[in-house]
Amino acid sequence: MFVAAIFAADTVTDREIAFAVLYVAVILIAAQSGRTRFVATIGIGCAVLTVVSYILTTQGDRQSGLVNGALSLLAIATTTFLAIRNETTEARARQALADLAHMARVTTMGELTASIAHEVSQPLAGIVANGHAALRWLDASPPSPDEARRALGRVVTDADRAGEVIGRVRRLVTKSPPSRDRVDLVELIDEALVLARAEIRRNRVVLRTDYGVDLPPPLVDRVQLQQVVLNLVVNAAETMGGLETGPRDLLVSAASDASKITVSVRDTGASLAPVAIAQVFEAFYTTKPGGMGMGLAISRSIVEAHGGTIYAALNHPRGMVFGFTLPLNTTRTV
């Protein structure tokens, strides 16, 4: 409708007014789609309409109309070029972020290898034990099929547990293009906590969760957001693992209001100094011996790419609170 109005005004008016320059607005609207081919098509279409309008216009000064038409074409071409270039640059930036985030996930999985191996070894040990038990019940005299069946049932349950852990790891380290889906936030957090469970136990941390009722599903990249939660949880567990005294409490919570969802990870580890809090999300800044200082920086990039905000604050009476907010109706490209 807007395009038709511009074309009509540019064609029937008897004044030398460069109505066609208004096609720039159409191109800028098209640029919001994030598709370069679509923007190029719209730009070419607007240029064609400008030429057709000049040909069809029979009134007014032809020379002035020619100059105005040429200026409009220049504006259309320039706007189309800049829109495509900006989108191409943003696409490269998003891909670079995705590659960096994937590398960070692989690094995190490498650090958690021992914990994940421990998590898998438990059901595997159960499978072996219950398998032997089933054989004993079958070899007994008289055999006991019911006991053997129950033992085999436990084998299946343990096998499912091991498969679920492996499946979560595979989903997290798989290199997949960024996507946006409505996700169950509680399920997303719980899966991250399962991956970090052995690390939480190793550092003798007491974990609690507090989820709001009927949390709306945010529009996010599931793998990337899970990486953020995992980073925050593992950092908190490692921080409390170095404590000599005091409680080691970890509270992971999620709540929402009319406009946003807030996820927070609250620990009772060491409290950071104000100068450290101000820098903790900067790349290569770390408070951990041997740390790379990339985990929180990548987490911030991921959250901001979703239109959200990540934050750090002091916990009372000791420790830190790291968390992030997500808008409920984000439309930004992840």
Helix (H, G, I), strand (E, B) or coil at 292: coil
Task: Say if residues 303 and 324 touch (Cβ distance below 8 Å).
Answer: yes
Q: What is the structure's pLDDT at 333?
A: 43
Confidence of residue 112 (pLDDT cuts 50, 70, 90): confident
Express each pLDDT in 246-285 by its tens digit: 899 999 999 998 889 999 999 999 889 888 888 888 877 7
Q: What is the structure's pLDDT at 97?
A: 75
Residue with tokens 């900006």: 86
Of all residues in the chain, the percent with pLDDT exceeding 90 is 31
Confidence of residue 294 (pLDDT cuts 50, 70, 90): confident
What string of DSSP letters covers 7-25?
Answer: HHHHHH--S---GGGGHHH
pLDDT at residue 185 tops 80: yes
Of all residues in the chain, the percent with pLDDT exceeding 70 is 95
Confidence of residue 232 (pLDDT cuts 50, 70, 90): very high
Nearest to 188 by CA among 99, 251, 254, 97: 254
pLDDT at residue 331 tops 60: no
Confidence of residue 334 (pLDDT cuts 50, 70, 90): very low
What string of DSSP letters covers 63-117?
Answer: HHHHHHHHHHHHHHHHHHHHHHHHHHHHHHHHHHHHHHHHHHHHHHHHHTHHHHH
Residue with tokens 């939660």: 229
Average pLDDT score over residue span 319-323: 95
Q: What is the model's pTM?
A: 0.66
